[in-house]
Amino acid sequence: MCFNETNGRISKLMSMIKALPINLSNLQKTVLQQIVRGTTNPYRLVRRAKLILAAASGESNSSISRRLELDRVQVRQWRSRWFEEREKLSAAEEQQVTEKALMVLIKGILSDRPRPGTTKSFTVEQVVQIVAIACEECEKSDRPVSHWTPSELADEAIKRGIVEKISPRSVGRFLKRSDITPHLVRYWLNAKIDDPLKFKKQVKYICELHQEAKTLLEQGIHLISTDEMTGIQALERLFPNKRIKPKQVEKIEFEYERHGTLSLIANWDVARGKVVSPSIGPTRTEQDFSEHIQRTIKIDEKAEWIFIVDKLNTHKSESLVKLVAESCGITIDLGRKGKEGILQSMDSRADFLSDESHRIRFVYIPKHTSWLNQIECWFSILVRRLLKRITVRSTEELSQKILNFIDYFNQHFAKPFVWKFKGFKDHK
């Protein structure tokens, strides 16, 4: 008997085997659909979820096999696996488990079982103790290093008698599942807040402004987030970049020639979600910022303007006070800088500039809260999408590329940031 004839008879016999019925509850169907839509789920898990959904809809094993490009034996196996676990699933639902808990159970059913010869799994207690070590300082275990590696954690777990034997790879899996990353570090600033109540009040007020930006615009009030990006280098790479290829990232030449720096003063229209009236030049002096604000308010000379800025000295300058006074028709004596009156100090000038009765006013974010200033979010976009990779031969070319990017961004990507933070809650 030839091979093809034998294979044909086997296929015929398999087709005669009645497919096991698959019945899904509404919750099971919902969880399986979530697995299919999940962008981070392994492909094999997604395909098995599709298999069960298809089987529940009455599709035959042969049809599922062709559509999902699986062997019919695999289709029958996973169909049988689900059929065998149906009572466990029903019992879980009778106990009114959460959707998340059912998701874990279903993922376990659709996952590969341990293969013969694999080592015995570790207990939950052992895994927890190993993860706890990863959260300790290495010096407490007499290890003169700054952070743990899987190899050192495995060695420490054995030394403490938590396990008799464990591989660094197993430790790595435990850390990954627990979302513990000893190899990563991030800078953090512990801000010194003199008046916590005042600080929370200021943060809440700025968040409220962000959320009311569209309403303010309808009332003729422009809410603008403003700041400077200084020291933007005009770098000319000595050799062209090597473009991206399959399995190869783009390569940027390490050596460069420097052609000077620029400063960008940018405005982010919070309600419209775009950059307006940018200023680019070699400096960011008191005069530069004052002229920038003057050009901005000329866009709509009769409207009200609220500028969200940090507490940089150029944002509380004599020039800025005089500009606001002139624009708002304020004729009172402003005093003398460093001597008396409104111009006396930065604090007195800031009080005048933040006066809510003025048509043009400034709102100052607290110290170390640049994350409250939305223009900072846009600056990060500018760096990622343009500045990080470009090569230019002059500051003039750099300036033009930045302006071109701003026009491109406003045309294709203008959209307000979704601001969900409403301020810090008061803890009683």
Judge whether 342 lies within some domain.
no
Pair 132, 248 in one domain: no
DSSP-assigned letters across all residues of 370-401: GGG-THHHHHHHHIIIIITT---SSHHHHHHH
Q: What is the pTM of this model?
A: 0.68
What is the rounded distance in angstroms from the CA atom of residue 307 to the CA atom of residue 363? 6
DSSP-assigned letters across all residues of 62-105: HHHHHHHT--HHHHHHHHHHHHHTHHHHHHHHHTT--HHHHHHH
Pair 165, 30 in one domain: no
Q: How many helices (H) and strands (E) does the chain have?
A: 17, 5
One pLDDT digit (tens) per residue for the chain, 428 residues? 454 555 555 454 445 457 788 999 999 999 999 999 988 888 899 999 999 999 999 999 999 999 998 988 999 999 999 999 888 888 878 877 677 777 878 888 888 876 666 555 787 678 888 988 999 999 999 999 999 999 999 999 999 999 999 999 999 988 887 788 999 999 888 888 889 999 999 999 999 999 999 999 999 999 999 999 999 999 999 999 999 999 899 999 999 999 999 999 999 999 999 999 999 999 999 999 999 999 999 999 999 999 999 999 999 999 999 999 999 999 999 999 999 999 999 999 999 999 999 999 999 999 999 999 999 999 999 999 999 999 999 999 999 999 999 999 999 999 999 999 999 877 54
Pair 71, 22 in one domain: yes
Among 109, 139, 166, the domain-final residue is 109
Indicate the helix (H) or strand (E) that contains 363.
strand 360-364
Pair 129, 105 in one domain: no
Judge whether 223 lies within some domain.
yes
Q: Are strands 304-309 and 221-237 parallel, antiparallel or unpaired?
A: parallel
CATH code, 382:
3.30.420.10
Overall domain count for the chain: 3
What is the rounded distance in angstroms from the CA atom of residue 422 to the CA atom of residue 417? 14
Pair 291, 369 in one domain: yes
Q: Range of 171's domain?
A: 124-177
Pair 161, 207 in one domain: no
Judge whether 426 lies within some domain.
no
Pair 225, 79 in one domain: no
H helices of 262-371, in order, are 286-297, 318-327, 346-353
Pair 165, 207 in one domain: no
The two structure tokens encoding residue 180: 């513990």
Pair 283, 203 in one domain: yes
Judge whether 281 lies within some domain.
yes
